[in-house]
Structure 1
Amino acid sequence: MKTLAVLHTTPVTVQTMKDLHAKLKPEVRLVNILDDSLLSDVMQAGAPTAEVQYRMLSYARNAQVAGADAVMCACSSVGEVVEALRPELKVPFLRVDEPMAQEAARLGKRIGVIATVNTTLEPTARLVERQGDVEVEKVLVEGAYQALVSGNSERHDELVRTALLRLLDRVDVVVLAQASMARVVSTLNPAPAKPVLSSPESGLKKALESL
């Protein structure tokens, strides 16, 4: 049996990955590793620190010891750390947002990247920019993340919805830099005429296919 280990920096993505795994390829063994202090440390420092990188390498190596055939990081804020650490592992170390960025570049030239956390917005935008001849517009939804962590999910969704609709008017395709924003898309009525991409399903599907 093949094994995929997923490194999480927030509990929000754990159940999402479990549900998608059950739908896409349940015959693959899924191992979830959660350290919710990683994201808060990155946000406090403004970027991934050497300590964050060391801990991520430790988790990835432990996943190898546990029999993982591949490791995927479910957090875009530390995606660039994943790329830096790839030579240190004997198995593939994947970014959950890479397939999403590749798909965005295929669908349009004007790409909007939206996030509620700046430490996620910037690395996601850089990843999209590396995909080729594209123009990237970045949108940070001020106050939305704070509303979410304080328990006011309705306020979070309202802020994201408003910013997303405005961005859709200006671009060909929108990339959601955080999985926690994906549920807002399903509340739009009418549904957006332009593509709105989220990383969990495309990232996990690609990781499972690689096995």
Structure 2
Amino acid sequence: MLALLHTSPVHVPVFDALRDEAHPGLELRHHVDAGLLERARREGPQAVSDAVLAVLRRAVGEGARAVLCTCSTIGGVAEEAAGPAGVPVLRVDRPMAAAAVAAGPRVVVLAALESTLAPTAGLVRDEARRAGRAVEVRTCLVDGAWACFEAGDADGYARLVAAAADEVADADAIVLAQASMAPARRRARTRIPVLASPGPGLAAGAEAVRLGLRAG
């Protein structure tokens, strides 16, 4: 079983649909705690480290073989808790970051939430170090997008993110920093690759579960 740690309930049907499409038979268990993101925005991601570990331990107690954190703001904190949790803990955006580095040295990170910019840019640089590649990371906050998200205006949210992607120039890859931004990928008209995290992130989580089952 793969547990997913979300900070918004909107992710639950998205990952259920991805599972049905690409990983039939994979059991998912969702843990949603919007308060984690709210506190991380106010006090910094490390402020929620104990709370995140508590969620991870609860997931393991329920039978999780691996945990996938779908929130980019607290993804690093979740990864750091893998040792105490006792199972692999993955951040949904790491495979996306690796793909961005592979695409070329010029990466633009788009985010709807300011607290996501630094963690995602840092992740891209981390993947570049792992790959032994040089990378230039630029970041851009999409004005008005988070207000649309909070208002439940999914169409307006995706439209603003896609428009921001279409304005990017001189880049080898565009990274959509938050999982909730994924629908904008289909709307963007740019020829620059636009990368979203849910698909490759869930694939990595599914593989971690398979490896755990084989090891067990």
TM-score, normalized by length of structure 2? 0.89
Q: Is the 8 A contact 2:159 2:187 kept in 1?
A: no
Residue 163 (str. 1) matches residue 164 (str. 2): yes
Residue number in structure 2 paired with 1:8: 6
**What residue number does 2:107 align with?**
111
Residue deviations 1:19-75, cap 9 Å, x none? Answer: 111112221211111111111222233x2243x211110110011111111111111
Partner residue in 2 for 1:95: 91
Matches within 5 A, 1:124-135: 124-132=120-128, 133-135=134-136
Instruction: Note closer, same or farther for the CA distance 1:25–1:156 as it changes in structure 2 (3 Å cut).
Output: closer
Matches of 1:83 and 1:156 in 2, distance apart? 28
Q: Which among 119, 122, 138 is matched to residue 123 of structure 1?
A: 119
Q: Select which of 29, 32, 56 maps to 1:31.
A: 29
Cross-structure match for 2:45:
48
- 1:146 equivalent in structure 2: 147
Give the match for residue 192 of structure 2: 194
Which string of whole-angstrom CA distances, capped at 9 and with x for unpartnered residues, describes residues 107-126 of structure 1?
A: 11100100010111110110
Cα distance in 1 for partners of 2:158, 2:94 equals: 25
* Structure 1 residue aligned with 2:207: 209
Residues of 2 paired with 1:128 and 1:49: CA distance? 20
Q: Which runs of 5+ in 1 are unaligned?
A: none
> Over the residues paired in the alignment, what is the CA RMSD in angstroms?
1.5
Letter of the aligned partner of 2:70 in structure 1? A
Paired letter, 2:145:
A
Change (3 A) 1:154 1:17: closer
Distance 1:198 1:161 in 2: 12
- Sort the Cα spacing of 1:206 and 1:153 in 2 relative to 1 into closer, same or farther, 3 A: closer
Partner of 2:59: 63
- Unpaired runs of 5+ residues, structure 2, are 129-133, 211-216
What is the distance in 1 between the residues matched to 2:179 and 2:90?
16
Picking from 64, 69, 72, the partner of 2:68 is 72
Secondary structure of residue in 2 paired with 1:77: coil
TM-score, normalised relative to structure 1 = 0.91
Deviation at 1:143, TM superposition (A): 2.0
Displacement of 1:162: 2.5
> Distance in 2 between the 1:116 and 1:139 partners?
9
> What is the CA–CA distance in structure 1 between the aligned matches of 2:75 and 2:194, rounded to whole Å?
20
Identity %: 39
